[in-house]
Amino acid sequence: GKREKRMRTKNVRFDYVTVYYFTRRQGFTSVPSQGGSTLGMANRHSCVRQYTLGEFALEQEKLHQEMLKEHLKEEKLSSLKLKLTKNGTVESEEANTLTLDDISDDDIDLDNTEVDDYFFLQPLPTKKRRALLRASGVKKIDGEEKHELRAIRVSREDCGCDCRIYCDPELCACSQAGIKCQVDRMSFPCGCTKEGCSNTAGRIEFNPIRVRTHFLHTIMKLELEKSQQQVVGMENGFAGELSAHTSHLIQSQSQPAQEYSLPDSFDIENEPETAVMHLQSAEELDWQVEDEEEEEEEE
């Protein structure tokens, strides 16, 4: 009896999703890898909408489909330009005049592309951020932000200890400050090696294998949940008419209240640390050029 009561008090119920919409504004709150023109939002929301869980899932899928369509068109445009210029080795007037408007829906294979497999967030280059701000009605983009962000990025490079390979606790700035040495990439920000670090506070090293393993485990878990939903759909007689995903949405609409049990052993304070990796797209290679274009445009 006591256990059942304890489990009931830990159940979390979700009935509806309330979405607040904000107008996009220049941000002044984030630090992109390159350039300025950061993306932010207005101080107050412009409208509010409420969805059932099923309606919200459909809305998200529709939004992701639109984003995927744009992404596929950009890929197709880039591919056509490379073909016309023979991988950038020759000039092509046609390639210079091509835009996204020249790519039709028939040119991309949206139907055979899984949104769940393809959709992911990527950092936006400066040029695209500026375009988004202008499309949202921002007439004047503050150019000072770019210089402030550049100063912040430079200051962030000046961190960690000055040790090289070996850390002497008596001389290591990190050890003297009572903090761990940290290595995100080779010799940055701290230049010590795993074997040579004698920092009494310890040492943290970014582990890409751990991040990749965590990513794969998450994907496998989601696939397992998807398979389980499909089995439930088949048992309820939906499988013959609907896909597993649609079946899940219909069940969500007919039963808007969802319950998720939190196990007794769950303790957020004791959960292991999870590493976060910043994924950079190939577009970032062009950001330096775009920064120069941005400066010319402001002048």
Which residues contact residue 29 at a Cβ distance below 8 angstroms, ignoring those fewer than 6 apart? Answer: 38, 40
How many Cβ atoms sit within 10 Å of the Cβ of residue 21?
11
% of residues, the chain, pLDDT over 70: 72
Closest CA to 54 of 211, 258, 265: 258
The full set of domain ranges for the chain reads 16-148, 161-229
For the whole model, what pTM was predicted?
0.54
Q: Tokens 């010590």 sit at which residue?
A: 192
User: What pLDDT score was predicted for residue 4?
Assistant: 60
Q: Is the pLDDT of residue 267 over 60?
A: no
User: Is cis: bond before 125, omega within 30 of 0?
Assistant: no
- For range 198-216, the mean pLDDT: 88
| Higher pLDDT among residues 15 and 52, named by residue | 52
- For range 41-49, the mean pLDDT: 94
- For range 252-261, the mean pLDDT: 46
| Higher pLDDT among residues 277 and 194, named by residue | 194
User: Is residue 103 a contact partner of residue 76, using CB atoms and an 8 Å limit?
Assistant: yes
What is the 3 state secondary structure string of the chain?
Answer: CHHHHHHHHCEEEECEEEEEECCEEECCCCCCCCCCCCEEECCCCCEEEEEEHHHHHHHHHHHHHHHHHHHHHHHHHHHHHHHHCCCCCCCCHHHHHCCHHHCCHHHCCCCCCCHHHHCCCCCCCHHHHHHHHHHCCCCCCCCHHHHHHHHHHHHHHCCCCCCEEEECCCCCHHHHHCCCEEEEECCEECEEEEEEECCCCCEEECCHHHHHHHHHHHHHHHHHHHHHHHHHHHHCCCCCCCCHHHHHHHHHHHCCCEEEECCCCCCHHHCCCCCCCCCCCHHHHHHHHHHHHHHHHHC
Write out the two tokens for 138: 């921002």
Q: Is the pLDDT of residue 182 over 90?
A: yes
pLDDT band at 280 (very low <50, low <70, confident <90, very high): very low
Q: Is 165 left (phi over 0), alpha (psi -120 to 50) or beta?
A: left
**What would you measure as the largest C-alpha separation in the chain, in angstroms?**
78
Closest CA to 197 of 215, 222, 172: 172
Q: Is the pLDDT of residue 210 over 90?
A: no
Q: Tokens 């869980």 sit at which residue?
A: 53
Q: pLDDT tens-digit profile of 84-124?
A: 888 878 888 888 888 888 888 888 887 777 666 555 567 88
Report the mean per-residue pLDDT for the chain. Answer: 78
Kindly report which listed range (6-15, 33-42, 50-59, 263-272) carries the lowest average pLDDT score.
263-272
Could you give the CA distance from residue 84 to residue 99 in angstroms, rounded to a whole number?
A: 14
Q: Is the pLDDT of residue 258 over 60?
A: no
Q: Is the pLDDT of residue 266 over 50?
A: no
Phi, psi of 75 (to 5 degrees): -65, -40
- For range 19-45, the mean pLDDT: 93
Q: Is 87 left (phi over 0), alpha (psi -120 to 50) or beta?
A: left
